[in-house]
A and B are shown apart, each in its own frame.
Chain A
Amino acid sequence: MPEDIVDLIKENVIQGRVTSDDEGMDKGMVGQPGVSELVEEAIASGISVADIINEGLTASMEIVGQKFENEEYYIPDMLASAEAVGAAMEILEPHLSKSGVKPKGKIIVATVKGDLHDIGKNIVSVLLRGAGYIVKDLGHDVETKDIVKAVKKEKPQFLGLSALLTSTMTTMEDTIKALTESSLRDKVKIIIGGAPVSEEYARSIGADGYGADGFHAVSVVEALNAEMKGRD
């Protein structure tokens, strides 16, 4: 029964199980198919990509979000669910154009030159994938010219820049200047994050948004996305 597979995908996203090896929240789930296996199965049995995404992934992440709000879920639970959705999206990616489903958007993320901290950026990546975005992670200590090159090549709608140090946060400004010089600044929305930066700082260096934490970053991207779609 195809509906059953979608229900199982939903349940396993809530449980945060990427593959059959994962434990999830409830006992005795190891060995049962996880989201990756279930999505493969759903595609093979001809369930539409739109149904998998809307009813299997998006709906379940809403429930996960509620559980987080109700203090039932912790960040690692939320990340496990987001990771499951990310894995599903990766499997679904080659099928998207065929089925006419547009991904929500593409985002490049990087921790800027001189900064080795990537926990925050990694969490944001997982959460954005969980929200249905295609995320290209350039890593940490990334040269400004490599960020510019990637924006040129990948043509993302968003660029996320992260820095933890007050000494490296100024590199974010340099990156934005470099994009302007390459005439790419108006092609991409830039969101910044990291402990030393703030809403005011984001505005002062000409970024489009600021994410105070991982969840806030996702909602900022979602808001900018809705604004852009509204203009289309």
Chain B
Amino acid sequence: MIRKGLAGGSYKPLTPEAISKINETALQIIEEIGCEVNSDLALSSLEKAGAIVDKKKRRGRLPRERALELIGKAPSEVTLCGRDEKHDIYLGGNRVYTGTGGTALYIYEPDTGQKRQATMDDLKRITRLVDKLDNIHLYLLPTYPNELPFEQVDVNRFFAGLDNTTKHIMGGVYTPDGMQQVIRMAEIVAGSAEALRERPVISIIACNISPFIIDGEYGDMVVAIARSGIPLVCPAEPLCGATSPVTLAGNLVVQTVDSLMGVILAQAVNPGTPAIFGSVATSTDLRDLKYIAGSVEMGLLNAAGAQMAQFYGLPFYATGGMTDSKVLDAQSGYESAITNLLCALAGANFIHDSAGLMEFALTVCYEKYVIDNEILGMVMRAVEGIRVDDETLAYDLIKEVGPGGNFITAKHTRRFMRREHYHPVLSDRNSREDWEARGGKSSWEKASEVVRAILDGQTSGLPEEVRSRVLSEIKGIVD
């Protein structure tokens, strides 16, 4: 049984008053301080849409009414399609989905205890692995192929995704030309340009820089993505004490402004652009200013971000599920579990980075995808909550069984045992004797076996004629 798109929202770190105060402060910043916009295209688009622009300072501000009007043009629901319809996901409301994230540079190998540079081959293999992990619903391209020339990276990353899984592919792009090639590739895969807009099998991420900067190249890309009609993710990554106030409330304000500015820019360019409000907000290690990926505060910030997205009626891209551990140890389990759980219970629509990432998001690990898939299965069961009705209360059955009886042979038990309880694929529930008899394996060793079985199994490649069309039309793909 696969649990996805279930309604979260039982966990609310922000009160309604807190949400209102964060909103007020964010709108005040958008109105009075504004953003530095280093893209001419973005700046002129904002100006045309009613922004007050100071060309010398490259600063754009928006009256709050105008800002809210533009935010209101963004669809409250965005459908991200899989190449196979069963993988379609419907972002919006408080429905919860999970996915991978990146972009990591290294692979950690638990059997040798070493890390190495990630290659194209890793990207393909990780795609094939995630394709078969049911609790990971969307595939965000997780690694950077170090051996490829920079200008070939975009097409090769997206091709590795599209050619190895039927789940939706989301990713960042590095060059404007690469982005155009990627969209063309997706059009071929979808069948036509119209078919891609109808069923977007890809979506593209373009970050804003906290605090309050729309970058030159990324600003241009947001404009281009908005014009293309492809779903766009607008995340911001404020870091407590470094690029935002150290307080969580102050961080939330910066994240809200920066992400809203991305949404506003997309609506200024092309009203109705499917734009996803995104957060990568987290803490900073104030001893050496490192980015922290596994803090409980990251869980709180992204859960609160979900509440802000719900407040604005925007679909939400959250960040959770990572660890700063260098190995697959207790830290890697509890950090991933806690941040994923907080986001999911808050009803974060799409928890990105939810599997595979460790060591400040620099590194991924095949085995960790399998371990996190298990965590996410448990998390989604928690999101599902407890169904209470006559059938589940089971009065009639209790009456029939009576004092001292048992429920092992009841039909009711068989009817509900599979769907009421999460059935782990990795957790060991054998007695010590049985566990020892089966080799006394740790969770990562069992995860390793799952990785091998999946990589030795069936692939979800593109249909041959589509594949050869992509290879002949799109230049630079290393097959």
Contact = CB atoms under 8 A, between A and B. Distances in A.
Interface residues of B, number: 10
A79 B411 contact: no
Contacts of B415: 23
A76 B417 contact: yes
Contact of A123 (B408, B410, B413, B414): B408
A80 B410 CA distance: 9
A76 B413 contact: yes
A75 B409 CA distance: 9
A75 B417 CA distance: 11
Contact of A77 (B404, B406, B410, B414): B414
Contacts of B411: 22-23, 80
Most chain A CB inside 10 Å of its own CB: which residue of B406, B409, B415: B409
A31 to B, nearest CB: 15
Nearest to B414: A76
A123 B271 CA distance: 66
Interface string A10-36: 000000100000110000000000000
Nearest to A126: B409
- Most-contacted residue by chain A among B406, B414, B415 (CB, 10 A): B414
B409 A74 contact: no
Interface residues of A, number: 15
Contact of B414 (A80, A119, A122): A80
A122 B401 CA distance: 14
B413 A119 contact: no
A43 interface: no
Contact of B408 (A16, A22, A75, A116): A75
A136 B406 CA distance: 20
A26 B319 CA distance: 38
Interface in A47-102: 74-77, 79-80, 83
Interface string B18-36: 0000000000000000000
A137 B414 CA distance: 24
A80 B411 CA distance: 8
A52 B15 CA distance: 67
Nearest to A123: B408
Interface string B381-419: 000000000000000000000001010111101110100
A207 B417 CA distance: 37
A202 to B, nearest CB: 19
Nearest to A140: B404
A23 B414 contact: yes
24 contacts: A16-B414, A22-B411, A23-B411, A23-B414, A23-B415, A74-B417, A75-B408, A76-B408, A76-B409, A76-B413, A76-B414, A76-B417, A77-B414, A79-B408, A79-B409, A80-B409, A80-B414, A83-B409, A119-B406, A122-B406, A122-B409, A123-B408, A123-B409, A126-B409
Given A23-B415, A77-B414, A83-B409, 20 more contacts: A16-B414, A22-B411, A23-B411, A23-B414, A74-B417, A75-B408, A76-B408, A76-B410, A76-B413, A76-B414, A79-B408, A79-B409, A80-B409, A80-B414, A116-B404, A119-B406, A122-B406, A122-B409, A123-B408, A123-B409
Interface of B: 404, 406, 408-411, 413-415, 417
Interface of A: 16, 22-23, 74-77, 79-80, 83, 116, 119, 122-123, 126
The 10 closest A-B CB pairs, nearest first, are A119-B406, A76-B413, A76-B414, A79-B409, A76-B408, A80-B414, A23-B415, A74-B417, A76-B417, A75-B408
